[in-house]
Amino acid sequence: MKCRLTILLLTLFSMVANAQENDPTSTTQAPVPPKKAVRTLSLIGGPAWIASDVYTPSGKYNWRSGFEWGGELTVLYAKGLGFGFAYMHNQTKYPDGKLTQNFVGPSIAYGRDLSKHWRTKASLGLGYGDVKDGPKTKDKFTGITDDHTQNGFCARFAIDIEYMLSQRFGIGLYIQEIRLFTEKSTFYYNGEKIEENGTGRLGANLGLHFYL
């Protein structure tokens, strides 16, 4: 998981470095007036896969597919750099129930035009996340209620390849990875000691982009 996130981060940084090398405002060229900020509202939805092991009474699962949806508001400035804010929700069903995940938080973003109709954007977000693996239960002996929810620091990396159908609307493919970091928990499964400290998922989603 850490390896994939590192590779995606390097992709973002290399895009920024390449843009700076080709910056038309360098000392050898006349300055170019800044462009108007580009504001984009993106509606995102599609399949996602839980990249972490999930243990249930019926068995151990990994790379189980589910559905995620959400939205992102992005503002990009003259050199392609900007910021955004995103919310993502995921549901993955298992024979014993379902697992739900949420992410919400701000991000830094970079985008550039590839041609007249094609453009790409990458964003790195840090925020809050939670995962819930079952309904609330109450222990009949202690009276303690367990909502089966874990929460903590969450990281999100997304890259989008978009085709602009008009100046106000585009459609694209979102590839994103979301990683939730929680306190370490230890349990035994079929006699094996298991330690967990979060979950991760990888999504390949459709994005609908509206330019505001």
Give the model confidence (pLDDT) of 66-108 as tens digits.
999 999 999 999 889 999 999 999 999 988 888 899 999 999 9
Q: According to the per-residue pLDDT averaged within each range, which of 10-19, 131-140, 177-186 is highest?
A: 177-186
Q: Distances in Å between the alpha carbon of 144 and those of 56, 72, 171, 198? A: 22, 38, 48, 23
Mean pLDDT along residues 45-68:
90
Grade residue 20 by pLDDT with cuts at 50, 70 and 90.
Answer: very low
- What beta strand segments (E) does the chain contain? 38-50, 54-56, 59-61, 64-76, 81-94, 97-113, 118-132, 137-138, 145-146, 149-164, 169-189, 192-211
pLDDT at 31: 42
Contacts of 205 (CB under 8 A, 6+ apart): 44, 45, 46, 47, 48, 68, 173, 174, 175, 176
- Reported as a single tens digit per residue, the pLDDT across 152-208 is 999 999 999 999 999 999 999 999 999 999 888 787 888 888 888 888 999 999 999
Question: What is the CATH number that goes with domain 2-11+43-211?
Answer: 2.40.160.20
In percent, how much of the chain has pLDDT > 90?
53
Report the distance separating Cα 174 and Cα 211, nearest Å. Answer: 17
DSSP assigned state of 167: S
Q: Rounded to an integer, what distance in angstroms lies between the CA atom of residue 116 and that of residue 134? A: 48
Contact 120, 160 (CB under 8 A): yes
Residue 185: what pLDDT?
79
Q: How far apart are CA 207 and CA 190, in angstroms?
A: 41
Q: Do strands 54-56 and 38-50 pair parallel, antiparallel, or not at all (unpaired)?
A: unpaired
Highest mean pLDDT among 33-37, 125-129, 147-151, 189-193: 125-129
Q: Which of 73, 108, 109, 110 is nearest to 88 (CA)?
A: 73
d(Cα 212, Cα 71) in Å, to the nearest integer?
14
- Of 7-11, 15-19, 55-59, the range with the highest mean pLDDT is 55-59
Report pTM. 0.76
Task: Give me the pLDDT at residue 17, please.
Answer: 46
Residue-range domain boundaries for the chain: 2-11+43-211
**DSSP calls for 20-42:** HHT-TTSTTS---PPPPPEEEEE
Is the pLDDT at 30 greater than 70? The verdict is no
Q: What is the per-residue pLDDT for 133? A: 76
